[in-house]
Amino acid sequence: MQSNFVDYVKIYCRSGKGGRGSTHMRRVKYIPMGGPDGGDGGRGGHIILRGNRNYWTLIHLKYDRHVFAGHGCSGGKSGSTGADGEDKIIEVPCGTVAYNADNGEYICDVTEDGQEVILLHGGRGGKGNTFFKTATHQAPRFAQPGEPMQEMTVILELKLLADVGLVGFPNAGKSTLLSTVSAARPKIANYPFTTLEPNLGIVTYRGGKSFVMADIPGIIEGASEGKGLGLRFLRHIERNSLLLFLVPADADDIANEYEILLNELRKFNPEMLDKSRVLAVSKCDMLDQELMDEIEPTLPLGVPHVFISSVTGLGITVLKDVLWTELNKDSNRIETIVHQSKSMDKLPEELRAMGEDGEISKPEEEEDDDDEFDFEYEDEGGSEE
């Protein structure tokens, strides 16, 4: 069964072209020297990205790959300005990042509900012949055409907004921990890659406080090179203020597994190493205090660590305290995420992995039958005297 969680789409966007200016010449019965009165053309519609907290996935764009804004209308007589083209607003979840699919360039980041970013500007409307009237040129019989539209194939990526991101190998106990500390109910089973999409949960804390925790699908060695679930979910970790590494107590070398996970993040985006980190040694329900004391000297230095068991509740309260303390440090009050433009060497492989490697057909350009250099005459109430 196909998942409803879609965090990566490629769409074709086109703004509207500006309307042409009018070359209308005013001719009425009692004004024999009426002169030019052509109005300006209207602006073409913009393509706008808008954050919407009611969306949590990009699935609504997966089957609507063409986004067109309206064209501006031509100017009219009596100085009438043409109507602006209709803007096209693309509603996206908070945390969506846009890239140019042709060159991999980073465009914008939408993180707030209601935040609007103009992705493509509509063409400006052309000036009518009234604009060009001067003392020495009182009857200009020309006007400007509207500016052309803009077009772009855009990659939209969703990077989940969460305070704490769970990082660990498959079967490290991430989903079990999330279900223990929050009301989230991710699928839990005793086989690798049970979790195939990120899950979010709200963790309650003392005094009615809370923070958001994200269960990121398991990482394996070589994930930054496309192995396992590959690059698909590493991007979600970029958003997290704090990284909680989970390594099971029965691992052969806890410190080595921690370093492997850290190295994959380093290869994907070195900026991620600037985030605060906490290590939780999971599945400690079968350990006694003596074994924990033996393991503790082998753990990585400089990283806060907690022994936990999601089954018995061992260390869960202590873990919440540590996470809350780390989250409220001054270094975590300002988001440090730095979006990098995509490497064109890796972009084709990334598009294939996401199933977005196909070309999006571009519609044929409609013909404009209007001639921007034509001009009209109007007779009102009889012929000129």
Give tens-digit pLDDT for 24-35: 988 887 777 778
Determine whether 36 is exposed, middle or buried from the number of CB atoms within 10 Å of its CB (0-12, 13-18, 19+). Answer: buried
- pLDDT for 170 equals 81
Among the listed residues 139, 150, 133, 130, the one whose alpha carbon sits nearest the alpha carbon of residue 48: 150
The pLDDT confidence band at residue 383, using thresholds 50, 70 and 90, is very low
* Lowest-confidence pick of 82-91, 278-287, 352-361: 352-361
Q: What is the pLDDT of residue 3?
A: 57
| 179 plus 78 within the same structural domain | no
Whether residues 207 and 317 fall in one domain? yes
What was the pLDDT predicted at 187?
56
Return the pLDDT at 263.
87
* pLDDT at position 31: 76
Better-predicted residue by pLDDT, 166 or 350:
166
Nearest to 231 by CA among 248, 214, 213, 216: 216
Q: What is the mean pLDDT of the segment spanning 183-187?
A: 64
Of 129, 158, 187, which marks where a domain is finished? 158
pLDDT in tens, 261-285: 888 888 777 777 888 899 999 988 8
Domains contained in the chain, number = 2
Pair (125, 265) in one structural domain: no
- Average pLDDT over the chain, rounded to whole? 81
Which comes out higher in pLDDT, residue 217 or 142? Answer: 142
21 & 147 share domain: yes
Q: Is the pLDDT of residue 380 over 50?
A: no
The pLDDT of residue 9 is 92
Using CA atoms, how far residue 279 sits from 97, 248, 276, 290, 311, in Å, is 29, 11, 10, 19, 18
pLDDT of residue 333: 56
pLDDT band with cut points at 50, 70 and 90 for residue 233? low
User: What CATH number does the domain containing 290 carry?
Assistant: 3.40.50.300
140: amino acid identity, one letter: P
Range of the domain at 58: 8-158
- The pLDDT-based confidence of 125 (bands split at 50, 70, 90) is very high
Which DSSP string do the residues of 337-364 spell out, in sequence order?
Answer: --PPPPPTTTHHHHHHHTT--SPPPPPP
117 — pLDDT class (breaks 50, 70, 90): very high
User: What does the alpha-carbon distance between residue 167 and residue 378 come to, in Å, rounded to a whole number?
Assistant: 74
pLDDT for res 377:
43
Q: Give the H/E segment covering residue 276.
A: strand 276-282
Half-sphere exposure of 39 (CA within 13 A, CB side): 17
The Cα 218–Cα 321 span in angstroms is 25
Q: Is pLDDT of 341 > 90?
A: no
Strand partners, 204: 210
pLDDT tens digits, one per residue of 127-140: 999 999 988 888 89
| 222: its two tokens | 């070589």
Instruction: State the Cα–Cα distance between residues 197 and 353, nearest whole angstrom.
Output: 15
Nearest of 318, 303, 315, 285 to residue 205 by alpha carbon:
318
pLDDT tens-digit series, residues 66-85: 999 999 999 998 889 999 99
d(CA 65, CA 234): 25
In a domain, 63, yes or no: yes
Side chain identity, residue 382: G
Judge if 136 and 182 occupy the same domain. no
230 and 304 belong to one structural domain: yes
Mean pLDDT of 359-380: 53
Whether 136 maps to a domain, the answer reads: yes
The residues that bridge with 11 in the sheet, in sequence order, are 154
Question: Residue type at 130?
Answer: T
Tokens of 245: 């590494």
Q: Which two tokens stand for residue 280?
A: 């939780």
How far is residue 162's CA from residue 53's CA, in Å, rounded to a whole number?
13
Is the predicted pLDDT of residue 379 greater than 70, yes or no?
no
The two tokens of residue 88 are 């096209």
Distances (CA, A) of 18 to 43, 123, 131, 144, 153: 5, 4, 16, 10, 21
> Are 284 and 307 in contact, with CB atoms under 8 Å apart?
yes
Last residue of a domain, one of 332, 359, 377: 332
Q: What is the mean pLDDT of residues 284-302?
A: 86
Share of the chain above pLDDT 90, in %: 31
Please report, for the domain that includes residue 152, its CATH number.
2.70.210.12
Q: What is the pLDDT of residue 216?
A: 78
Question: What percent of the chain stands above pLDDT 70?
Answer: 82
59 and 178 in a common domain:
no
Inform me whether the pLDDT recorded for 39 exceeds 70.
Answer: yes
Mean pLDDT computed over 96-102:
92
149-174 pLDDT, tens per residue?
999 999 998 887 788 888 888 877 88
Per the document, the length of the chain is 385
- Cβ burial of 286 (10 Å; 0-12, 13-18, 19+) is exposed
pLDDT in tens, 189-232: 454 444 556 778 888 898 888 888 888 776 665 444 444 444 56
DSSP bridge partners of 215? 166, 199
On whether both 200 and 325 belong to a single domain, the answer is yes
For residue 191, being part of any structural domain is answered with: yes
For 110, phi then psi, to 5°, come to: -110, 110
Q: How would you list the strands of the sheet with 151-158, edge to edge? A: 66-68, 8-14, 151-158, 96-100, 106-110
Residue 380, token pair as written in the block: 């009102």
Asked whether residue 269 falls in the same domain as residue 128, the answer is no
Give the containing element (helix H, strand E) for 267: helix 254-268
